[in-house]
Structure 1
């Protein structure tokens, strides 16, 4: 009986010191996708998290005369900042049906973490980078297009993982 209690206490103690880890690899393809925003992934990260994103074969087109690559890109939105943005008391515009100017692009919002825009793509339409996640939270990874009437084609792969305090993958 004493051995069983000891083993149970040992197991409970071990569980308390295990750092929860979340890891995942996702790959998606988009062909002539006209959506202005695409939720790519939702995930939980510790303060020792990492997210690798690789985008290949990017082609963007628009009926708008000038396609600005800085108006298309990927960003992270944490649940914490989403709730902070929602809780702000912002005055409503007097004309709810006004045309918003394209300079008000979500990629430049103070409430998000802009990872990169299409201006960062290489000459072949590729981008590959790993980003640290230094705040434990729930995150959503989005693609956004602030260019009117645009379509995008691309292959996207993400690898999201946590590391322990020694920077080894959990």
Structure 2
């Protein structure tokens, strides 16, 4: 009986644990989505690799709506950095077709007036943290960047299943 109570308390602690690790913040849309703003400057591809090094399931941020865009903008304003930061939108594979690194087409767009520009090397997208608007830049440009991950999840149903297994064993 005591062992069952301890298992339930441990499971409850995991269920209520912070969903994003230190340095990351929770999306205003999904409690299972975390964002990070990295002030180190990197080109688009190194920034993408750096996100994956922080967490293999992480990538440069995918922004699907105005609320996520506003949250990233507000978070970046806390730092005294250049206003531009990489997000995961790019046109590297298809000319004129803006695709997120996760392979999804961009349904939500927040282009600055006059963008996207049709410059041959301006194939990667950065957000202006002052305006929240997007611009396409040369992918070799070194900028701070946003990462996102939905894999820092402490799943409640996993915890419940674990608790049930532990109870059956005891």
Q: TM-score, normalised by structure 1?
A: 0.33
Q: TM-score, normalised by structure 2?
A: 0.33
Larger Rg: 1
Structure holding more strand per residue: 1
